[in-house]
Amino acid sequence: MELWIVLVIVLLLIAFVILLKVLRSVVIAVLGVVGLFVVLLIAGGIVLYVDASNLKSAFEGDKLFVLTKDGEVKTGLVVSDMQSLEEGNLVDYLTSEEVGEANSFFAEEEYGDLRGDNDLLIVFRYRAFNGTEGLEFEDLGVSISYEEIGLILEADTLEEAVSIMLDDEGFEGEERDLVFAELLEEFGSVEELKAVLLMFLFGDRVMDEGPRFLSDNYVEENLIINPEFITIRLVERIPGRVTDRFLGGLI
């Protein structure tokens, strides 16, 4: 056999052995990367599952809804049962003193203290409710626009708020005095009226937009949620239909 043929065969054998070693190293490296990816994927799935479960539990517990306007807390209410809120049944609302305390916590971004003993805190900025047409009190024949709601949130007394409500209604004389008195009796305090307006605003937008009202406004930084949840922070990257299905079970 020719010497060069022998050399070629030897070289080919050496190359083959080297190739096997290289391939073995590459396969081991690839398997290692794939294994690490699978482990991270499983760990991430577990974390998201636990986080989503905690979010669901928070929604099922006591929820403090707070409404701010121009950087100040205007009203708040505590909701335990979402069904009662949807039916228009007002629950606990923040008193004047509690609104002042909430405003201090909000200014310092101490959202945990603002949440207090409640399971969940959602702070709505007033602009989150853009698109609301208004509210009508059918029994009294009084309706207020979204702009008037904004003015009422700035009112310091119930009398001032009721005056805003009646400004464009066309009531005069004794009729206006009668409706004015009925509204004062209906609400009792300006804090209660503002809480009713928050309840209406939330119900109106959720009814119109569905669960996306929360997710879209979270992405647009029109609301703050405390405690923070990974699930909520990832909502911008989650397809809309998935978000709707998940949040749909909460609200």
In a domain? residue 50: no
Angle at 138 between CA 133 and CA 189, to 5 degrees: 85
In a domain? residue 45: no
In a domain? residue 244: yes
In a domain? residue 6: no
Sheet with 63-69, edge to edge strand ranges: 72-79, 63-69, 120-125, 223-226
Predicted TM-score (pTM) of this structure = 0.75
In a domain? residue 180: yes
In a domain? residue 15: no
Residues 6+ apart with CB under 8 A from 247: 211, 212, 214, 215
Angle at 128 between CA 125 and CA 132, to 5 degrees: 125
User: How far apart, in whole angstroms, are the C-alpha atoms of residue 163 and residue 160?
Assistant: 5
For tokens 């009398």, name the residue.
159
- Do 137 and 179 contact (CB within 8 A), yes or no? no
**Per-residue pLDDT in tens (0 to 9) along the chain, 251 residues:** 445 555 655 565 566 566 556 666 655 655 555 555 665 577 667 767 777 777 777 777 888 999 999 999 999 998 876 665 655 556 688 999 999 999 999 999 999 999 998 999 999 999 999 878 888 877 777 888 888 999 999 999 999 998 998 887 677 778 888 888 888 888 889 999 999 899 888 888 877 777 678 878 888 889 998 888 777 766 655 555 555 555 555 55
Q: How many structural domains is the chain composed of? A: 1
User: How far apart, in whole angstroms, are the C-alpha atoms of residue 80 and residue 85?
Assistant: 9
Nearest Cα neighbor of 113 from 146, 160, 73 is: 73
Q: Which domain holds residue 135?
A: 63-248
In a domain? residue 24: no
Phi and psi dihedrals of 77, rounded to 5?
Answer: -145, 150
What pLDDT is attached to residue 247? 56
The maximal CA–CA distance of the chain, rounded, in angstroms, is 126
In a domain? residue 42: no
Question: Which pair of tokens denotes residue 61?
Answer: 């517990």
